[in-house]
Amino acid sequence: MAIVGAFARVDSGQNASCQRLLCELAGVSTFEINDPDKVGILIEADTLDQAHSMVSQKIRSIPGVLGVWPVYVNTEDEQD
């Protein structure tokens, strides 16, 4: 299991629609951040590979998402 914390910077006024589209992605949940131009994202995937693909391909292509910045990646599970 890979766990990645990230945030997406979204177009002003697009926060709600971006959150809705993000939540439709498997393994992705969102949470509120005290900034209307950002959406907090938690990704749970079987592998880091899948988590990275989620960020680099699926999330970045959502309309209104200007960019995605992963902030926390845990590799502990793979290295134990």
Partner 1 sequence: MDNSRRDFIKASAMASVATVAVGGTGVVAGESGETAKTSQAQKVQWTKSVCRFCGTGCGVMIGHKGEQIVAMRGDPEHPTTKGLVCAKSLFLPKIVHSKDRLTTPMVRKDGKFVPISWDDAMELMADKFAKAIKKHGPDSVAYYGSGQAMTEESYLCNRLFKGGIGTNNVEGNPRLCMASAVGGYVTTFGKDEPMGCYDDIWEANTIFLIGSNTAECHPVIFDQILAAKQRNRRLNIITLDPRKNPIVSVSRVHLAPVPGYDLAVLHSMAHCIIRDGKHDKAFIEKNCQFKTVKDGKPINVGFDGYVDFLKDFTPERTEMTTGVPAKDIEEAARLFSYGPTMSIWTMGLNQRIRGVWVNNLMHNLHLITGNISKPGASPFSMTGQPNACGGVRDTGTLCHLLPYGRSVKKEEDRQFFEKFWGSKPGTIKPKPGLHTVAMFRALGENKIKAMVMLTTNPGHSMPNLHPVRDAMGKERKDKPFIVVLDIFPTRTTEIADLVLPAAMWSEKTGVFGMSERRYQIHPQIKSPPGDARSDFDIMLDFAGRLEDKGVVKKGYIKGKFKTTDDIWDEIRLASKDTPYDFMGITRERLHKERGLRWPCPTEDHPGTARRFVKGDDPTLDHGKYADNTLFPGETKFYTAPDDRAIVWLRPALGPAEPADKEYPFVLSTGRVMEHWHTGTMTMKAEELRRAYPHCFMEINPKDAREMQIQSGDMIKITSRRGEAKIRARVVDMPQPGTVFVPMHWEDKDSLINFVCIDAFDPGSKQPEFKMCAVKLEKV
Give the binding site for partner 1 (CB under 8 A): 1, 3-7, 9, 12, 31, 33-35, 37-38, 40-42, 44, 47-49, 51-53, 55-56, 66-67, 69-77, 79-80
Least separation in angstroms between CB 21 and partner 1: 18
- Which is closer to partner 1, CB of 21 or CB of 51? 51
**Tokens representing 56?**
């680099």
* CA distance linking residue 79 with residue 49, whole number of Å: 15
Residue 6 or 62: the one with the smaller Cβ distance to partner 1 is 6
Convert 17-36 to b/e letters by CB count within 10 Å (16 or more is b).
ebbebbeeeebbebeeeeee
